[in-house]
């Protein structure tokens, strides 16, 4: 598979996870009996998007990242690997588990229980925050490669 | 339900929700501690993780996923199959606290310790 296409697919599914978690958060704020099925369906979509993004990322990271890593470390932004990539690759393990847990968290009585809503709000909020962090970190890693190529 | 009536706050959650929530909290912190162990601990830890699957990150991911599933299903079977008990507010505090702690450990490991 083409290298840029792998990265684009990774970003696409990561953004779907991000947007889906925001949907779940907002929908849960006003959960009613008629919207619970939709909240649960979107939460499953969030988990699926995250799993696809994660598997694509794992394939790319293990098979292709070594060349980019070498470039970044020789360039002006070595921290784009030393801190950003290293932190990202481990934070996303927690993000994967949170996204996997989101459909389980939505199994409570969302239409009638404040505590069930609170759990989903916190879980979807954490997914959103970590996904946004991962997305931002990905952009910094990409910039780390670009600035390294620019000074080459 | 009357639309203007306040929603109950202590409604019990399904046993899978509680069990996997606690499992997620424990696994998040365990995963962060594994980051510190492999990056700052003896080189044998990193070497063993690389040897297990060919890449330390793949081993780390599979370990975290395995622990999450094992703990989740195990906690669901606690109390004679009724699942582990935890109030919803305590579950939220445990989950959020664990994710915050794990995030701090991972970021601190690479940012502060270097």
User: 3-state SS of A56-87?
Assistant: HHHHHHHHCHHHHHHHHHHCCCCHHHHHHHHH
**What's the whole-number mean pLDDT along residues A62-88?**
95
For B11, the closest of A61, A98, A115 (CB atoms) is A115
Whole-number CA gyration radius for chain B: 18
Question: What is the pLDDT, as a whole number, of residue A25?
Answer: 98
Is A61 in Cβ contact with B57 (below 8 Å)?
A: yes
Is B2 a residue whose pLDDT tops 50?
no
pLDDT at A75 over 50: yes
Complex confidence, ipTM = 0.92
Q: Is the pLDDT of residue A67 over 50?
A: yes
- Cite the DSSP H helix spans in chain A: 3-29, 36-63, 65-74, 79, 86-105, 114-150
Summarize the confidence of residues B6-34 as an average pLDDT: 90
Tokens at residue A131, please? 């996904």
CA atoms within 13 A on the CB side of B114: 1
The answer to whether the predicted template modeling score (pTM) of the entire model surpasses 0.90 is yes
Is it the case that residue A1 has pLDDT exceeding 60? no
Cβ <8 Å between A98 and B99 = yes
Q: What is the mean pLDDT of residues A63-73?
A: 94
Q: Which pLDDT band holds residue B1 (cuts at 50, 70, 90)?
A: very low
How distant is the alpha carbon of residue A84 from its chain centre?
15
**Does the pLDDT of residue A2 top 90, yes or no?**
no
Mean per-residue pLDDT, B29-46: 95
Q: How far apart are CA B7 and CA A115, in angstroms?
A: 9
* Number of residues in chain B: 114
Give the best residue of B22, B85, B93, B107 to mutate against chain A (max A CB count within 10 A). Answer: B107
Which residues of chain A are within 8 Å of residue B50 when distances are taken between CB atoms?
Answer: none
User: What is the tens place of the pLDDT at every residue in B59-112?
Assistant: 999 999 999 999 999 999 999 999 999 999 999 999 999 999 999 999 999 988
CB contact under 8 A, B61 and A97: no
Q: Which stretch of DSSP H or E encloses residue B58?
A: helix B56-76
Query: B38: Cβ–Cβ under 8 A, 6 or more apart, which residues?
Result: B45, B46, B49, B56, B60
Angstrom distance (rounded) from CA A144 to CA A146: 6
Separation CA B59–CA B48 (nearest Å): 9
């Amino acid at each position: 598979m083409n290298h840029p296409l792998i990265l684009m697919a990774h970003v696409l599914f990561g953004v779907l996870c991000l947007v889906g978690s925001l949907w779940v958060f907002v929908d849960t704020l006003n959960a009613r009996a008629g919207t619970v099925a939709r909240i649960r369906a979107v939460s499953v979509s969030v988990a699926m998007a995250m799993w696809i993004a994660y598997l694509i990322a794992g394939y790319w990271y293990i098979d292709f990242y070594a060349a980019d890593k070498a470039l970044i470390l020789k360039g002006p932004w070595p921290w784009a690997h030393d801190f950003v990539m290293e932190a990202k690759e481990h934070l996303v393990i927690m993000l994967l588990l949170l996204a996997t847990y989101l459909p389980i968290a939505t199994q409570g009585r969302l239409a009638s229980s404040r505590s069930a809503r609170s759990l989903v709000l916190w879980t979807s909020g954490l997914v959103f925050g970590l996904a946004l962090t991962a997305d931002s970190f990905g952009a910094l890693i990409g910039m780390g490669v670009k600035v390294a190529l620019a000074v080459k | 339900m009357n639309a203007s009536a306040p929603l109950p706050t202590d409604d019990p959650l399904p046993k899978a929700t509680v069990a996997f929530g606690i499992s997620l909290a424990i696994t998040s912190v365990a995963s962060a501690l594994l980051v510190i162990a492999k990056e700052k601990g003896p080189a044998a830890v990193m070497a063993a993780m690389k040897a297990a699957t060919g890449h330390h990150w793949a081993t780390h991911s599979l370990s975290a996923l395995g622990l999450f599933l094992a703990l989740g299903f195990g906690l669901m079977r606690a109390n004679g199959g009724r699942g582990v008990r935890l109030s919803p507010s305590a579950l939220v505090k445990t989950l959020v606290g664990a994710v915050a702690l794990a995030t701090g450990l991972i970021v601190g490991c690479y940012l502060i310790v270097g």
